[in-house]
Structure 1
Amino acid sequence: MDWLIGLLLLLVGGIIGFFVAKYFNQEKQSESDKAQGGQTIQELMHQQAAMHIQETKQIAEKLVDQSARLQQQVENYEQLLISQQAGPEGSSLNYFGEHTTAYLRNKSPKPTRKDSSADIQPLDFSSKSSGLFSGQEETPAKETK
């Protein structure tokens, strides 16, 4: 009987030891999961920072381009004003007026779309009796009683 009690105590101790080891193992695993999650968040933040810097550079390049175009337009307008004051055009009357003439001179040429026309007519309208309405009348159906 003594050996049976010892065997039962050994079995109960093994079961308790199993659950205690499982509990401590879960705590270690949750700590490693938290550390891995923190590392993943840092990687995402680095990626987002790199994307933000790239977008900021693109916006800065666009601003530089727009400011260069604005500077060119201001210089063109200034040259126009100087040429109007110094040249013979300054004293003569303009047909369009000062502002309209300046606008027309500085207006950038935009590509215009060419209108295309069909060389042949569509099949429905090519002759008198083509298409849905061919001009033939249907005979009325006979009524039967």
Structure 2
Amino acid sequence: MKNDPCKVRLFIDDDEQPIAELNTPVQFELDTSKLIDGEHTLRIVGKSINGREGIRKINFIVRNGPAIDIEGISENKVVDGTLPLMINAYDKGDYNKFVIEGSETPKSIPSWLWIILIAFVGWAAFYLITYFNI
């Protein structure tokens, strides 16, 4: 007995028109560059040779646009006065070459690192002073 191929139709979100209608088994490349950034649903409807249908939904998030980083404010933070913000947006760029400039967001040095550095310098100064006084 031979298995007859099923047909599948692929839908994005609540679209009525399928983006593809294929016989199985199949390999398919979903081009997300045509979708807006945000949450989407891939809906796969399969239909067997005797007319029965099955459905599978897969939720996914598209992030094709530039990544946006911000320092100086965070989600649900209570603020007042003037806030110094550092904002950076960068894209994935060309996949054929690696560009380091603009691909990372500069960050300020955290205060805990300054404290450790000052403590180390203080300890080193104390050690040098006591070592040469003997």
TM-score range, shorter chain: under 0.3
Q: Which has the higher contact order (CA 8 A, sep 6+)?
A: 2
Q: Which structure shows the higher strand fraction? A: 2
**TM-score when scaled to structure 1?**
0.23
Larger radius of gyration: 1
Q: Which structure shows the higher helix fraction? A: 1
